[in-house]
Chains A and B, each alone.
Chain A
Amino acid sequence: MKCLFLKDFYVLIKNFKLYLLMELIFIAAFLWDSSNATYLFFSIMTIGLIPISLLNNDEQTRWNEYSGTLPCSKALIVSEKYLFELILQLSLFMIMTIAMFFSETVYHNGIFSDCIFAISAMHLCSLLMPTLYFPFCIKFGIERGRIAYYIICGPLFALGFSLLQNNFKEVAQTALPSILPLVLCGIPLLFIISWFLSIKFYRAK
Chain B
Amino acid sequence: MNAIELHNVSKEYTDFTLDHISFTLPSGCILGLIGENGAGKSTTIKLILDLLQKDSGTIKLLGKETSKDICLAKEDVGVVLDEVGIPGCLNARMVGHVMAGIFRQWCDSDFRMYLKKFQIPETKEFKNYSRGMKMKLGIAIALSHNPKLLILDEATSGLDPVVRDEVLNIFYEFTREEDHSILISSHIVSDLEKLCDYIAFLHHGKLLLFEEKDILRNAYAAVHCTEKQLSELNPTAVLYQNITPYGTEAIVKRDAIPNSFSMKPVSIEELFVIMANQTRC
Contacts and interface: CB of A to CB of B under 8 A. Distances in A.
A binds B: yes
Q: For chain A, give the interface size range.
A: 20 to 34
A69 B51 contact: yes
Given A14-B90, A71-B74, A2 B81 contact: no
A181 to B, nearest CB: 40
B243 interface: no
A72 B77 CA distance: 12
Main secondary structure, interface of A, reads helix
B75 A6 contact: no
A13 to B, nearest CB: 9
Contact of B98 (A3, A57, A73): A3
Nearest to A70: B102
Contacts of B50: 68
A63 B151 CA distance: 17
Interface string B83-114: 11111111000100111111110000000000
- Counting contact residues on chain B (CB < 8 A from A), the size range is 20 to 34
Nearest to B52: A205
A71 B103 contact: yes
Nearest to A3: B101
A57 B126 CA distance: 14
B102 A3 contact: yes
B85 A64 contact: yes
A72 B71 contact: yes
Contact of B89 (A3, A6, A14, A65): A14
Nearest to B99: A3
Contacts of A3: 97-102
- The 5 A-B pairs at the shortest CB distance, nearest first, are namely A3-B101, A66-B85, A62-B85, A14-B89, A69-B79
